[in-house]
Each structure stands twice: as structure tokens, then as C-alpha cells.
Structure 1
Amino acid sequence: MLVPRLLFRTSNRNLFQPCKTSIVKRNLLFGRGRSLNDDDFFIFQASDKYRVSREAKIYWQGPRWSKFLFTMRFVGTSLTLSSLFFVGSSLIVESAEKSPSLSNIINESKAPVTFSLIGISGALFLLKRGIPGLTPYLVKFGYLRLDVMSLFNIIRSPYSNASSLVVSAFSHRDFLHLAFNAYALYNLGTFIEQSYGPQAILALYSSGIFFGPLFGLLLQRVRLPTLGASAAGMAMFSFVATEWPAINVHPIGLPDFQMTLQNAMYATVVWTFFGLGRMWFLPRYAGSIDHAGHLGGLVGGWVYANYLKRQKQLRQAQAKKWFIVW
């Protein structure tokens, strides 16, 4: 059972309105201190409809997959879509660099790819808030419903779509969510893009698209949708901390306190596992932060950093071998 039916009542004029219910039930469903918005009403009433007619919907979609086969299919779909995003965005960047009209803009901007990724997230948020009629479509194609997928062992449903594996990395629930992720992407992305080039940013964003939902599927135990660029931001943070562990940083709100990036990453990992443990053993107090997706992003950034180190070592070994032979 995805959602208690007593939490919502439908109306002909307004799709979703919350019923009167206790604070405990609201906290259990949405997390403590979480305020409701139109996205929540759409998501959970759609879930309720899906629960009521699940047998017909699953029959319409085809045979149910076993848990193992579904996980393998999910991994394959997520890997394919994240790879397509990386390849497609890389081709767009190369074409823009060769364009006479766009090359000047790219050269003048210190981090054009980072700003473009932030701009896409902002544009989706403005569309969702500016045109209410688009909200159902942006939620369906942009909010990753891992709860529905894992419950019914199915990737595509009438209320969720496989495209959400990618679009969810650009979708945000509210302005504060968007602002915080945009701030993190701006600080980390500009540094990485200036130091390693646009390919590194696209690779890290793609790793967040792949590893975030994967870890969410394996570890997530709440009924909230997965969305936001936080997994990609965590991938960038993990990458910078692995490549530059000795850099000193100041945590937000603590200007007089500094720590190395390596220690900051260790603290983030501890905080993430604490959130996962609270979600598993105290689900009523789990909150709405996707700690599983954050952990996936951290792993993705670490994997990419070690991949670059391995490639550098291979190039150095080949150069050394060439000089010895010569």
C-alpha cells in the first residue's frame, strides 16, 4: 500500500487537496517539518490511483519482472540513458565550440557547461511554477518514482516514465531546493570545468544520473520521489576531494572554522550513513533528504577520479617505456 487513502480527497475543480489528518500521519508520509505543495498532491494521489488499479496497469504494461531481473533491467536502462546523455551533451558542446556565433560566448564564459546545466534546472522549475497545467507532465516525466518501480518491479508506468532517470537530475521540488543545488554546482562546477574541461563536468553529471538512482533503488526506504541535482553535486564534491584532498575549505555558516576537503568528504560520508540508518530504523524521522542518492553521487565522483588517475598512470608508463626503447 503506497499511500493511506484517508490522506487525500479529490475534487472536480482542484485535483488534490489534503484531508484533515494528524501531524503524526503527515510526518510519517512527508517527513517531519515538510510543507506540502502541488507536486506532493499530484504525486501521492497518482500513487493512490496506481495502487487501486495496479493489477490492470501491470497487465497492460506486460508481465511482471522478478526482483533480480528488474534490478538488472533498471541498471541497464539507467546506464544506457546516462551514457546517451553524456554522448549527446558532449556532441552539443563540440558543435557549439565549432560554431562561429557561439564560440565567442563560450570563450567569454568561464564555465559555460556548468551555467547551462544550472539554466536547464531553472527553466524546468519556472515552467512548472509558471504554467500549472504542465505540472502533471513535468512530474510524470521528471520525478523518479523508485517507490513505484521497486514495489511493482516495473520501470514505466502511467504515472512515471523511464525518462525520469535523466530528467529527475534537473527537476526540483521548490525554490530552496533549486537554490541550494545551484549554489553547489556553481562553486564546484566552475572549478572543475576550468581545471579539467567541459568533458569532466558532463562525465560527473552523468555519473550522478547513474549512481544516484541506483543507490536509491537499493537503499531507499521512503515513499518520496527522487529528484534534484544533489547526486551530481555530490559526485563533483567527491571528485574534487579525491583530486585535491589537502585544500582547506570553510563550511557554510562557519567562517572561522576550516577543514581539508578530505576531512569534509569523510564528514559527509558519516552524515550520509547516519541519514540512511535513521531512514532504515526510524522511518518516522527520516525526513526528505535522499541520503541514498547522495551516497551514490559520492561513489560516482570517486570512481571517476580514480579512472582519471589510472589513465594518467598508463600514459606515464607508456611514455617511460617509449623513452627506454628509444
Structure 2
Amino acid sequence: MLAHSPQTCVSSAPVTIGILAVTVGIHLLSWLWPPLRSELFERFALANWLVAEGEWWRMLTVTLLHAPGFMHVAFNMFALYNLGPQVEQRLGPLRFGLLWAACAVAGSAFSFLLGDPNAVAVGASGAVFGLLGVWFAAAVRQRHTPWGKHLMKQLGFWLLVNAALPLIVPNLAWEAHLGGFLAGYGLGCLWQTSEKDAAAPDPSGR
């Protein structure tokens, strides 16, 4: 199970670094060259009616695109920077990549099934909420320890910030946040259950 609070340790988290670099790079290029933004949004945004017509890849590629400006991408990538590295170190790059993809697709699926059929959404918030779900599963498991209580408080901040984003940034879907979070929480519970020999975390964070 996760042994410390979320922390910045990206040097040994290559998938986290890769996602950050690609996502920020795409956003910067789109900002510098607006026609590229239009092309990418047309091909890769989560347009529910196009998903219904069979363009299922949009459920994953939506994570590479963000709303114009820098607030949306900054929030998501900052959350990934803080929440992702230790999860990746524990799971390994391959399983972490699959976790990120699964939470992204789960978020998109909720957006597709529960959202407006004509809606268009962008962002990696579903996958980010998946990481929050993984950490929340660890906190719930250790909720009676000082570490678990401390982690609950930290996660409360992240959940409030990310839950508020749809109110201030257009084209964000709460359905994707919910789907990603539930997927991450479920996978986090399964992962911790499978680690039968894992030691209890050190509440001091060492």
C-alpha cells in the first residue's frame, strides 16, 4: 500500500514525467499555433455523439487536451505532479500507465452515459480523480492511524479544488470526475487487498 503522503518525487516516475511533458507540450503548441488547437479538438476531444458513432479513442485522447488558457491544464498537471509519482513507484510504470488509462476511460464513460449527448469535453480530470481515488482508498484503509487522518485532510483539499473546476472552467464534466474517482478507488482497494504482506505505513512519513 502507499506508505507516505503524496509527495513530489518525479525523478523515478517516467510515466508521470511523460504524461506531464506531452500534455504541457501539446497545450503550448496549441497556444502558439491556434489552427493546431482546432485540429486537435476536432479529432480528439470527447464529443459524445461521435463516441456514439464509434470513435471510442476519444475516451482516452481527451486527457491530452485542455481548455484555452492555462488554469485548467495547470491544475491537472500540478495534481498529477503531486499525486502520481509515489503511486507509479509502487505499481511500476506499466501498471501505473494502465491505471491512468483505465481511470481516464472510466471518467469518459460516465461523461458519455450520464452527460448531454451533444456535449464536448476536454481534460485529464477523470484520470486525475482516479489518482485521488487511489489515495483515498489508502486513507480509508488507514483511517484510524495518524497517517490516515492526515491524508484525509490533504485529500479533502484536492477534492474541493478539483470539484470546483467545472464551476469556473467551461467544458468540464462532473460525470468524468465521478467516474474517474470511483475507478481509482475501486482499483486502489483491489491493489491494497492483493498486497497481503505490505507493512503498515510509518505515520512519521519516513
TM-score range, shorter chain: 0.7 to 0.9
Q: Are the structure 2 counterparts of residues 140 and 239 from structure 1 closer, same or farther at C-alpha, using a change threshold of 3 Å?
A: same
Which SS does the other structure have where 1:243 is aligned? helix
Correspondence for 1:58: none
Shift of 1:247: 4.7
Whether the 8 Å CA contact 2:13–2:89 is kept in 1: the answer is: yes
Q: Are the structure 2 counterparts of residues 131 and 260 from structure 1 closer, same or farther at C-alpha, using a change threshold of 3 Å?
A: closer
- How far apart, CA to CA, are the structure 1 residues paired with 2:185 and 2:117? 26
Whether the 8 Å CA contact 1:141–1:163 is kept in 2: the answer is: no
Shift of 1:240: 0.9
Shift of 1:223: 4.6
Whether the 8 Å CA contact 1:141–1:167 is kept in 2: the answer is: no
Whether the 8 Å CA contact 2:121–2:171 is kept in 1: the answer is: no
Q: CA RMSD in A?
A: 3.4
Q: Alpha-carbon deviations, 1:230-270, whole Å to 9, x = none?
A: 11110001101102331515xxxxxxxx8264xx39x949x
Correspondence for 2:138: 243
- How far apart, CA to CA, are the structure 2 residues paired with 1:124 and 1:180? 16
Which residue among 311, 316, 319 is the counterpart of 2:194?
311
Count the aligned residue pairs: 180
Which SS does the other structure have where 2:46 is aligned? coil
Correspondence for 2:73: 178
Matched, 1:203 2:203: no
Which residue among 29, 34, 37 is the counterpart of 1:132?
34
Q: Alpha-carbon deviations, 1:184-238, whole Å to 9, x = none?
A: 0000012212333323421221122220111011211385422111111100011
Matched, 1:193 2:88: yes
Q: Are the structure 2 counterparts of residues 126 and 117 from structure 1 closer, same or farther at C-alpha, using a change threshold of 3 Å?
A: same
Whether the 8 Å CA contact 2:122–2:171 is kept in 1: the answer is: no
Correspondence for 2:178: 295
- How far apart, CA to CA, are the structure 2 residues paired with 1:211 and 1:186? 21
Q: Are the structure 2 counterparts of residues 300 and 179 from structure 1 closer, same or farther at C-alpha, using a change threshold of 3 Å?
A: same
Is the deviation greater in 300-309 or in 288-297? 300-309
Letter paired with 1:145: A
Matched, 1:220 2:120: no
| 5+ residue gaps, structure 2 | 1-9, 141-147, 199-206
- How far apart, CA to CA, are the structure 1 residues paired with 2:33 and 2:181? 35
Shift of 1:139: 1.1
Correspondence for 1:322: none
Mark the structure with the bigger radius of gyration: 1
- How far apart, CA to CA, are the structure 2 residues paired with 1:286 and 1:131? 21
Letter paired with 2:116: R
Which SS does the other structure have where 1:128 is aligned? helix
Whether the 8 Å CA contact 1:144–1:227 is kept in 2: the answer is: yes
Whether the 8 Å CA contact 1:140–1:164 is kept in 2: the answer is: no
- How far apart, CA to CA, are the structure 2 residues paired with 1:192 and 1:225? 30
Q: Are the structure 2 counterparts of residues 196 and 145 from structure 1 closer, same or farther at C-alpha, using a change threshold of 3 Å?
A: same
Matched, 1:232 2:131: no
Identity of aligned residues (%): 23
Q: Are the structure 2 counterparts of residues 183 and 169 from structure 1 closer, same or farther at C-alpha, using a change threshold of 3 Å?
A: same
- How far apart, CA to CA, are the structure 2 residues paired with 1:286 and 1:173? 7
Shift of 1:299: 1.1
Relative contact order, CA 8 A, sep 6+: which one is greater? 2
Shift of 1:286: 11
Counterpart mapping for 1:64-75 below 5 A: none
Whether the 8 Å CA contact 1:239–1:305 is kept in 2: the answer is: yes
Letter paired with 1:164: R
When the two structures are superposed, what TM-score results if normalisation uses the length of structure 2? 0.72
Whether the 8 Å CA contact 1:114–1:185 is kept in 2: the answer is: yes
